[in-house]
């Protein structure tokens, strides 16, 4: 669905290629991830200026847990740094911050910071910034099947439903 100016209301971006970008420049992978954060700032500003209502960034899938532990830890530290630096900017720019995915498996300090930023921006009425964290289609399908099965066993739905 688009608005009269043919601008989409929701844009989703799969953040991929930061490591390859860094390798081409003979830099460590984390340098690529830091460059990705800079790109996010530009994309967020552009989305807001264009009047896009929702921006979803696919940032860390369940498959990313297969990366080296040091890289995963560095990614989480980078996200914490971003939240520390950008939380006030989100508030100032009327951006509501949201998470999709299962954050329970993330480091506790990161979960706390995510919750704090979500809470501090919950009343903002401008652009919605969704971060997809610890998401994956397989995990989502399993969760849906479990939920439906439980509803059936609890007799809240019939088999034909």
pLDDT per position as a tens digit, 24-68: 989 888 888 888 888 898 999 999 999 999 999 999 998 899 999
154 is catalytic: no
pLDDT per position as a tens digit, 63-117: 899 999 999 999 999 999 999 999 999 999 999 999 999 898 899 999 999 999 9
Tell me which residue of 92, 85, 83 sits closest to 118, measured CA to CA. 83
Q: What is the spatial distance between Cα 134 and Cα 121, in angstroms, rounded to a whole number?
A: 21
From 6, 18, 64, 66, active-site residue? 64
Query: Which pTM was predicted?
Result: 0.80
From 16, 84, 88, 94, active-site residue? 16
16 is catalytic: yes
Q: Take residue 56 and report the two structure tokens written for it.
A: 């979803």
Query: What separation, in Å, do the N-terminal and C-terminal C-alpha atoms of the chain show?
Result: 29
């Amino acid at each position: 669905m688009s608005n009269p100016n043919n601008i989409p209301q929701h844009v989703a971006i799969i953040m991929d290629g930061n490591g390859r970008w860094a390798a081409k420049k003979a830099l460590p992978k984390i340098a690529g991830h830091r460059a990705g954060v800079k790109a996010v700032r530009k994309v967020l500003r552009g989305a807001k200026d264009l009047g896009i209502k929702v921006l979803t960034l696919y940032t860390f899938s369940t498959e990313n847990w297969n990366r080296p532990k040091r890289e995963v830890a560095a990614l989480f530290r980078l996200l914490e740094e971003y939240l520390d630096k950008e939380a006030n900017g989100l508030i100032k720019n009327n951006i509501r911050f949201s998470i999709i995915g299962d954050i329970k498996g993330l480091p506790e300090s990161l979960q706390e910071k995510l919750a704090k930023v979500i809470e501090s921006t919950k009343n903002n009425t401008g652009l919605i910034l969704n971060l997809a964290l610890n998401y994956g289609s397989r995990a989502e399908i399993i969760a849906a099947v479990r939920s439906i099965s439980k509803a059936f066993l609890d007799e809240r739905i019939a088999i034909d439903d």
